[in-house]
Structure formats: C-alpha cells, structure tokens
Amino acid sequence: MKTSLLDAAAEATAIAEAARLLRAGQVVAFPTETVYGLGADAFSPDAVAQVFLAKGRPSDNPLIVHLATPAEFERCAFLSPRAERLIEKLMPGPLTLVLPTRPEIPAIVRAGLPTVAVRMPDHPVANQLLRESGPLVAPSANTSGRPSPTTARHVLDDLSGRIAAVLDGGPCRLGIESTVIDLSGDVPVLLRAGAISPEAVAELLGERVVKSSAHAETPRSPGMKYRHYAPNIPIQLVVGQVPLLVADGTRRLLLTTASPGRSSKELRVEPLMESTFYQLLRQAEEEAIDEIIIHLTSVSAISAGLLDRVMKAAGENGQ
C-alpha cells in the first residue's frame, strides 16, 4: 500500500480526502494538539482492527474515541454530572474521560471493557476532519514501543506503506499525550498525567482526584502495563547537579532543565520540555547517539505529565 501525504495547509481538498478514506474504512493518521493520532471509524470493527495491526498494538490495550463536538459524548457514553461538568468546562482540550460505554461502541475499541475512553481534540484540522468523518479511534500514530509522533514525518518513518494516508497539519503544539481521568467508578481517578493537571480537574469537580499507581497489581488502565518507549539507546536519569561528562568518545544527548550550555561534537545539549521531548528521542536514534542523559535540577522542574514520560522512557516505570 502506498501511503499518501495530504497537506492540510497546501491542499484545499486534503481534509475532505482524508475523511473520504476514513468513511471507506481505511486508516489515516491526523494531527491533534497532543500527538498525531492513527484514525479509523470508531463504529467499524474491521477498520479498528486495522489500527491494531498497523501499530502492532496488543489487542488488550483499548483505544480513545475522538469526537468533533461536546454533544457527541452522549452518543458514545453514559454521562454523569461529573462528566457533564468536565465536558462543558474543558472540551475541546487534552483531556480523555473514561466513562460507562454505550453498547453501540464495538468491543474491539474498548478491549472488551464496560467503559469507553472519549475526548475532543483542540486542533482545527482534527476538528474539521472529525466533523466530516464522524467519531474516530485514534491511538498515537507510531509503531508500538516507539516514541509518539509529533510531525507527519515521524508517522511516515514508522508506518509508511502500512496505512492509507497521513494528514499533515504541522507539528503538534503540546507534544505529549492527553491526561486520562476515569469517571466510571466511585471516585475520579487519574490514569495518565498530561497537560491538564488533576488539581485543575479536582477544582472543577469540587472533590479529590485519586492518583492511580502504575505499580498496582491490576492496572486500572490496560495501557499502563505497557512501556511507552523501549529505547534502543541507554537513558540515564540525573536529578540535582549538572552531571560532569568526560570526553571519552561517547556521543551523548543531554536533555536538561538547567540553562543548556553549548553543544560540542560529542555532546548535544537541548532543553528538556514537553513539545520537543519525543522528537529529540527519535533524532537521537537517527543520529546514532550512544547515550541519552536526562538531567532535572529537581523533580518539580518539569510538569507531572513530562515527568511521567521521562520515567517511562528511562525504564523506571516500564514492564
């Protein structure tokens, strides 16, 4: 299969063509404010099966359904007053809600769970596409185990020849995946950290948001048991003083929250931040870097969302 590149900025018909392919049951990657998603018709089990196949994603890891309007949440899930409040206040935005599912959502989307994950992206291209295509499942558009893609080129690097098209909408604004909050139980539970903090959600709900532990015996979210990024480059995490690096011929990438010093031939120094984190991991692989060092002046120097991705990449949290 040849993967076509549809440029939303340059071609007036790009979004319409992507929507046509999706309505025909094909798989198309598209931009969101978080990362690129791998889209397929959420109501077609055959189309959804293609997404698992293209990514090599384990079938017990459920997918997030992406919507064009706040009103569409009711089509997919049963809404509680908590859900209604968060939808009203925070959608569109980088927040996913896990809710009791409507029976119309195919079991393959939910990995057989009685709940469905739903969100409304805050991105004009995604929004227009979803209006024309209808609800789409959209996990990150990378091969399972690789860093999430934040540009159309990253998607092609992983999935060229395996999907019908990539809709190019430029680089993603945020660069890490959405916050996931489970509202299906007695208390709201944070399943994945992201740009929207649990404190902001707690404030809107007027109650505590419990932090689920990825180390729990039975993970609340199936995705938690999978390592996001299995690096083929060793990653060292350093907290505190800037590490002293001896010039010994090792090619290193230093990502730091301290003011980055100058790069040299052996050492590339870049600021550690959400919007470029995955991109720099991919570049390190391309440039055959020997070692990645992630330096935090303190653990509170970065957001909880970025800290979560750093820990996963460094293998501190992976299984």
CB nearer to ligand AMP: give 131 or 225: 225
Residue 282 burial (CB < 10 Å; 0-12/13-18/19+)? buried
Q: Which of 21, 43, 51, 62 binds ligand AMP (CB under 6 A)?
A: 62
Print the binding letters for residues 157-186 with ligand AMP: x by CB under 6 A, - otherwise.
--------------------x--x------
CB nearer to ligand AMP: give 98 or 253: 98
Q: Is there a cis peptide before residue 92, judged by omega within 30 degrees of 0?
A: yes
Min CB(25)–ligand AMP separation in Å: 20
Q: Show the tokens assigned to 282.
A: 């991919």
Binding flag, residue 221, ligand AMP (CB under 6 A): yes
Q: Show the tokens assigned to 74.
A: 């009711």
Q: How many CB atoms lie within 10 A of CB 47?
A: 22
Rounded distance between C-alpha atoms, residue 178 and residue 17, angstroms: 27
Binding flag, residue 95, ligand AMP (CB under 6 A): no
Q: Which of 66, 192, 252, 309 binds ligand AMP (CB under 6 A)?
A: 192
Q: How many CB atoms lie within 10 A of CB 205?
A: 18
Binding flag, residue 115, ligand AMP (CB under 6 A): yes
Q: Please give the helix or strand (H or E) that residue 311 lies within, else none.
A: helix 304-313
Q: Which stretch binds ligand AMP (CB under 6 A): 2-10, 83-91, 157-165, 215-223?
A: 215-223
**Alpha carbon separation from 319 to 212, 286, 296 (Å, rounded):** 16, 25, 23
Min CB(283)–ligand AMP separation in Å: 21
CA atoms within 13 A on the CB side of 174: 23
Q: Which stretch binds ligand AMP (CB under 6 A): 22-30, 127-135, 219-227, 295-303?
A: 219-227
Q: Which residue type occupies 277?
A: F
Give, as ranges, the residues between 124 and 153 that touch Mg ion (CB under 5 A). Answer: 140
Rounded distance between C-alpha atoms, residue 62 and residue 30, angstroms: 19
Q: Which stretch binds ligand AMP (CB under 6 A): 115-123, 150-158, 165-173, 198-206?
A: 115-123
Q: Show the tokens assigned to 215.
A: 């180390």
Q: Which of 26, 32, 127, 140 binds ligand AMP (CB under 6 A)?
A: 140
Binding flag, residue 222, ligand AMP (CB under 6 A): yes
Is residue 198 within 8 Å of 181, Cβ to Cβ? yes
CB nearer to ligand AMP: give 63 or 125: 63
Q: How far is CA 124 from the centre of its chain?
A: 18
Residues of the shown chain interacting with Mg ion in the complex, contacts defined by CB under 5 A: 140
Residues of the shown chain interacting with ligand AMP in the complex, contacts defined by CB under 6 A: 61-64, 98, 110, 113, 115-117, 139-140, 177, 180, 191-192, 221-223
